Amino acid sequence: MMKRDDFLTVLARHRKDEVVVAVYSAAQELIQIAPHPLNYTFTGAMGQGSSHALGLALGRPDKRVIVLDGDGSLLMNLGSLVTIAHAAPGNLLHCLCRNGSYETNGAVPIPNRDKLSFTALAAAAGYRQVHAVSALDEWDRRLPEFIRAQGPVFVDIEMERGASYPEDFERLYDPACRDAFRQALKDST
Amino acid sequence: MPDEGLSAAQIIAALKQADIRFVVALPDRTTSEHLLKPMLNDPDFQVVQVCKEDEGLSICAGLYSAGHRSLMMMQYTGLLDSINALRGVAKEGRNPVCMLVGLLGKEPGVPPKQSARYGLRIVEPVLDAMDVPHHLVEQGADIGRIQPAIDKAYAESAPVVLLIGASPR
């Protein structure tokens, strides 16, 4: 199964000037593996990543916005699938880093993980495109297509934890870093 | 001279004066008919309809980082349901989330803290405990509070709540 740090390394290799919104473990690792002025980790509360991403996508329709959501996080804000599908931002790529657990909160399994289909939920909500990926080489091969596609695009990516990285929640939610992001986005054309 | 009550047109004008162009909303009975419905048809506003109120606070935060002013419209019950987002996204995240909150069922002329309804009585104390500034907008003369409150929120990068105490007409 794909390791999350390998997934992020591939993302960093393909990334140009896209905004990347990330939550929890993916956010902790993103700022270590792929530091970038357009990394947005300031989501403030569990489940809110997709909604921050929607605000960014609507506010900057000229920029591509990629959100790295978690499955436990998305379960906490499932309505955002409908909200995003209705707002229909063409520049939003919603990636679900699906590990089947609340990893940050003790690696407890999410409810009904063996039967739950996030792709079915996203499709039923009305996303323009829905895909699923589980192998690293497929992620590497298809990511440019996902980034270019007219959104909202949902990609379910099955993965597991890779190497351990330090946790720094203060950094993730730091308003000073958010202000730096804000300036970087303003300067980014 | 008796106050003429809340004019929806004046509230909308005040919001435009405050440079609000994005409105994030979940319908509230106090404001749906004469505020939200006209906004849905007003080309000066882009309305984002949400399924739950905490989403809306985060959408406003994303819009702020993208360089836009926005307004979250909801009922006070939705505000109470969004306390954790208010804590993490708006307060600790220092995002100028501006909320227009309908006080459904508020008795005319009775201060919210003295309402017979428990839910209404606790709104201002909860906001005070969270150090979130709030303003009651119940009469026509109160509409003048809207633009300065929004400007201050953006100047200080801090949230503000405008409590709508009567249905605008």
Angle in degrees, 0-180, between the axes of helices A118-125 and A79-87, rounded to the nearest 10? 40
Query: Does any CB of chain A come closer than 8 Å to the CB of residue B93?
Result: yes
Q: pLDDT at position A104, please?
A: 85
Identify whether B112 is part of a domain. yes
Mapped onto helix, strand or coil, the DSSP state of residue A147 is: helix
Which CATH number do you get for residue B125?
Answer: 3.40.50.970
Identify whether B38 is part of a domain. yes
A173: chain B residues, CB-CB within 8 Å: 88, 92-93
- Under the banding of pLDDT at 50, 70 and 90, the label for residue B5 is confident
Task: Compare CB distances from B66 to A77, A80, A185 and report the shortest one's residue.
Answer: A185
CB contact under 8 A, B92 and A44: yes
pLDDT tens by residue, A106-164: 889 999 999 999 999 999 999 999 999 999 999 999 999 999 999 999 999 999 999 99
Task: Compare CB distances from B61 to A52, A79, A186 and report the shortest one's residue.
Answer: A52
CA atoms within 13 A of residue B119's CA, in its CB half-sphere: 13
In Å, how far are A4, A124, B51 from A8, measured between CA atoms?
A: 6, 28, 30
Identify whether B14 is part of a domain. yes
Identify whether B130 is part of a domain. yes
pLDDT tens by residue, A11-65: 999 999 999 999 999 999 999 999 999 999 999 999 999 999 999 999 999 999 9
DSSP H helical segments within B8-164, as ranges?
Answer: 8-17, 37-40, 53-65, 76-81, 83-85, 118-121, 123-129, 146-156
Query: Does any CB of chain B come closer than 8 Å to the CB of residue A185?
Result: yes
Mapped onto helix, strand or coil, the DSSP state of residue A51 is: helix
A185 within 8 A of B67, measured Cβ to Cβ: yes
Q: pLDDT at position A106, please?
A: 86
- Under the banding of pLDDT at 50, 70 and 90, the label for residue B144 is very high
Q: What is the DSSP string of A90-145?
A: TTEEEEEEE-SEEGGGT-EEPTTTTT--HHHHHHHHT-SEEEEE-SHHHHHHHHHH
Could you tell me the domains of chain A?
Answer: 2-116+133-187 (3.40.50.970)
Identify whether B58 is part of a domain. yes
Q: pLDDT at position B2, please?
A: 55
For B109, the token pair is 């002329």
For residue B52, give every residue at least 6 positions away whose Cβ sits within 8 Å of its Cβ, in sequence order, or none.
A77, A79, B26, B78, B81
Question: Chain B residue with minimal CA distance to A177?
Answer: B93
Q: Residue A88, Cα to own-chain centre: how many angstroms? A: 17
Q: In terms of residue numbers, what domain contains B40?
A: 8-164
Distance CA A101, CA A82 (A): 23
Which one, of A82, A50, A88, A46, lies nearest residue A69 by Cα? A50
CA B137, B142, B143, B144 torsion-angle sign:
negative
Mapped onto helix, strand or coil, the DSSP state of residue A158 is: strand
How many folded domains does chain B comprise? 1
Task: Answer yes or no: is pLDDT of B1 > 80.
Answer: no
Distance CA A143, CA A140 (A): 6
Task: Compare CB distances from A55 to B49, B63, B88 and report the shortest one's residue.
Answer: B63
Task: Answer yes or no: is pLDDT of A189 > 70.
Answer: yes
Question: Chain B residue with minimal CA distance to A185?
Answer: B66
A·B CB contacts under 8 A: 114
Smallest CA–CA separation between B70 and chain A, in Å?
Answer: 10
B94: chain A residues, CB-CB within 8 Å: 175, 178
Query: Does any CB of chain B come closer than 8 Å to the CB of residue A61?
Result: no
Identify whether B169 is part of a domain. no
pLDDT tens by residue, A63-111: 999 999 999 999 999 999 999 999 999 999 999 999 999 988 888 999 9
pLDDT tens by residue, B29-85: 999 999 999 999 999 999 999 999 999 999 999 999 999 999 999 999 999 999 999
Task: Answer yes or no: is pLDDT of B169 > 90.
Answer: yes
Pairing of strands A108-109, A101-102: antiparallel
Distance CA A53, CA A153 (A): 13
Task: Tokens 């590990």: give the residue.
Answer: A99
Query: What is the share, in percent, of chain B residues with pLDDT greater than 90?
Result: 97
Question: Chain B residue with minimal CA distance to A46?
Answer: B85
Identify whether B32 is part of a domain. yes
Of the given ranges (B3-17, B80-94, B122-136), which has the lowest mean pLDDT? B3-17
Q: pLDDT at position A161, please?
A: 94
A77 within 8 A of A45, measured Cβ to Cβ: no
Query: Does any CB of chain A come closer than 8 Å to the CB of residue B22?
Result: yes
Identify whether B3 is part of a domain. no
